[in-house]
Amino acid sequence: MASDKKIVLVTGGNTGLGYETVKALYQTDTPYELIIGCRTISKGETAIATLRTEVPQSPSSLSTLHVDLESDASLENAVESIASRFAGRLDVLVNNGGGTFDQHVPAGNLSLREAWNKSWETNVTGTHVLTTLAVPLLLKSADPRLLFITSGTSALKGTEDNVTPAMQRLNFNPEPGWPKKELGLSSYPAYRAAKTGLNMVMREWNRLLMRDGVKVWAVSPGFLATGLTGVGRGEMLLKGARDPATGGQFVKDVIQGKRDEDVGLVVGPGRVQPW
């Protein structure tokens, strides 16, 4: 069916920054078809129930969609479902789904190779495959927007930053010798490398789709107290992380046109992130 509402797919939309992005859009007066992409439909349905409790009145519609970034069949089915429901159109794709797997190596759950491959499969490869499948739908939009959620840890320039406590933890030089002791947030090299790679994926899509009128960004929402690293919300807040709702509001602002002058760049609150 055709819809007058803007159609927005947020992968990983049932939790963390994805959930807060959906919520921020759901709270506005602008009507959207908000599609929560998730690996487990029941979790998406729980997220919808929570949203409707937190925001009793909205002109927007909510639905779930099975999106598994490690399964081509899931991604193909997801895009086919959107095409069937909305006359082949998608207005906004927020590539938010991803994960960290470095912490599973010392825990013995994954080998080093498995953790690195899973980091790239989830954060980069799956996202690129989904985007490739979704482009024909975006090209039917009057105002197509394509967002890749990256990280402040992805900037190569940021590896020289030892000013803030968060970057000091990330860029800490450990004592000589081997093996190195795990040191909190300094132990996520696969995640950082994958997000740096995702920035290049964004640049490629910006190059490919510029003359088609698709606006493309990587969005770096800042250090947020999500469950991404497996560390509890309270501990994250103590380390200086912000409420994920602030990140959701920022992603909403990008979707609604407040960073259109920075198309093709990595945008964060109040700044363009260096490469």
Which member of 6, 23, 118, 195 is catalytic?
195
Asked if 26 is an active-site residue, the reply is no
Q: Which of 92-96, 163-167, 190-194 has the lowest mean pLDDT?
A: 163-167
Mean pLDDT for the chain overall: 90
- Asked whether residue 105 is assigned to any structural domain, the reply reads yes
Q: How much is the pTM?
A: 0.91
Asked if 3 is an active-site residue, the reply is no
Structure confidence by residue, pLDDT tens digits, 19-46: 999 999 999 999 999 999 999 999 999 9
Asked if residue 156 has pLDDT above 60, the reply is yes
CATH number, domain containing residue 16: 3.40.50.720
pLDDT band with cut points at 50, 70 and 90 for residue 73? very high
- Asked whether residue 185 is assigned to any structural domain, the reply reads no
- Asked whether residue 161 is assigned to any structural domain, the reply reads no
Which member of 60, 151, 187, 220 is catalytic?
151
Q: What is the 3-state secondary structure (H, E, C) of 9-66?
A: EEECCCCHHHHHHHHHHHCCCCCEEEEEEECCHHHHHHHHHHHHHHCCCCCCEEEEEE
- Asked whether residue 54 is assigned to any structural domain, the reply reads yes
Range of the structural domain that residue 235 is part of: 6-155+191-272
Which member of 19, 58, 191, 252 is catalytic?
191
Q: Which of 126-135, 160-169, 188-197 has the lowest mean pLDDT?
A: 160-169
d(CA 199, CA 151): 9
Asked if 180 is an active-site residue, the reply is no
Asked if residue 184 has pLDDT above 50, the reply is no
- Asked whether residue 108 is assigned to any structural domain, the reply reads yes
- Asked whether residue 162 is assigned to any structural domain, the reply reads no
Asked if residue 231 has pLDDT above 70, the reply is no
Helix (H, G, I), strand (E, B) or coil at 270: coil
Asked if residue 142 has pLDDT above 50, the reply is yes
- Asked whether residue 48 is assigned to any structural domain, the reply reads yes
Q: What angle do CA 58, 95, 255 make, to 5 degrees?
A: 45
- Report the amino acid identity of residue 100: T
Domain count, the chain: 1
Distances (CA, A) of 53 to 28, 139, 251: 15, 35, 22
- Asked whether residue 169 is assigned to any structural domain, the reply reads no
d(CA 5, CA 168): 44
Could you tell me if 33 and 8 are in contact, meaning their C-beta atoms sit under 8 angstroms apart?
A: yes
Asked if residue 218 has pLDDT above 90, the reply is yes
